[in-house]
Amino acid sequence: MGGVVAFVSSGPGDPELLTLKAVSRLQTADVVLYDDLSSGGILAHAREGANLICVGKRARLPSAKQDHVSRLLVDYAITGARVVRLKSGDAGIFGRLEEEIATLRAAGVPYEIVPGVTSACAAAAAAGLPLTRRYTARRVQFVTGSDVSGGVPADLNWVALADPQATTAVFMGKQNFHLFSAHLMEHGLPPTTPAILAQSVGHGSQKLLRSTVGKLAQELSREAPSSTAVILYGPLV
């Protein structure tokens, strides 16, 4: 009999933010293919004797190729193994989930998706703030600040992203935020718009920097990229 793949969302890094279903799938998995940001205490929930394989990707560092990761999922599943693909944050938010699903479908391998807490929600919670606000922020938008080449995506809707009455979460945007913010201000977003830089959310090294779009862009333009981060801006205060 063939196996099954569970795409398990590990949340931002805090094991206490795992769902009960995520823990259940880890406890019964034969193989766990995990991202770098899904390691640490989260893997303590894996079944004793399970095969733990790191397939994480980090910018500008040696990383597992996507086609190799997708192939591993199929290769283990067709042996009858219960496979967990452990993804950071929520598996469906900028996690290349679609590519892995396509490979499983082509091979006829069944799968399920276990949703989780995305870093934008965790960052807002850590800051003690809602992502929506009555009258002033009825819309939330998630966007990636980097394309496959590492630059600012060329096809973004800057009018929507510069809407002062929307809360925006920028994933993978720390390195390019000085360029990203320039587009925002060109399309009318005030540089005084509140912004939060949330680094290593859910980890012991978590840091929150409250600033404005203009000031944060200046600070990040002088900073070498290091820890993972999500940037929130809009009517946050």
pLDDT tens sequence for the chain (237 residues)? 579 999 999 999 899 999 999 999 999 999 999 998 787 899 999 999 999 999 976 655 556 788 999 999 999 999 999 999 999 999 999 989 999 999 999 999 999 999 999 999 999 999 999 999 988 898 999 999 998 888 999 999 999 999 999 999 999 999 999 999 999 999 999 999 999 999 988 888 889 999 999 999 999 988 766 678 999 999 986
Q: What are phi and psi of 164, to 5 degrees?
A: -70, -10
User: What pLDDT, on a 0 to 100 scale, did the predictor assign at position 37?
Assistant: 78
Given 35, 90, 163, 174, the catalytic residue? 35
- Please give the pLDDT value at position 207: 93
Spatial separation of the C-alpha atoms in residues 167 and 137, rounded to whole Å: 6
pLDDT for 58? 60
Catalytic status, residue 57 = yes
* Selected catalytic residue, list 21, 30, 57, 215: 57
The span from the CA of 132 to the CA of 197, in Å, is: 18
Instruction: Provide the pLDDT for residue 149.
Output: 83
* Structural domains for the chain: 4-114 (3.40.1010.10), 119-233 (3.30.950.10)
pLDDT given at position 68: 93
236, 140 contact by CB (below 8 A): no
Residue 122: predicted pLDDT: 95
Indicate if 35 belongs to the active site.
Answer: yes
* Strand-pair category, 166-171 with 51-54: unpaired
Are 203 and 227 in contact by the 8 Å Cβ rule? The answer is no
pLDDT at 39: 78
DSSP string, 70-82: HHHHHHHHTTT-E
Residue 100: C-alpha distances to residues 68, 107, 110, 165 (Å) = 10, 11, 12, 35
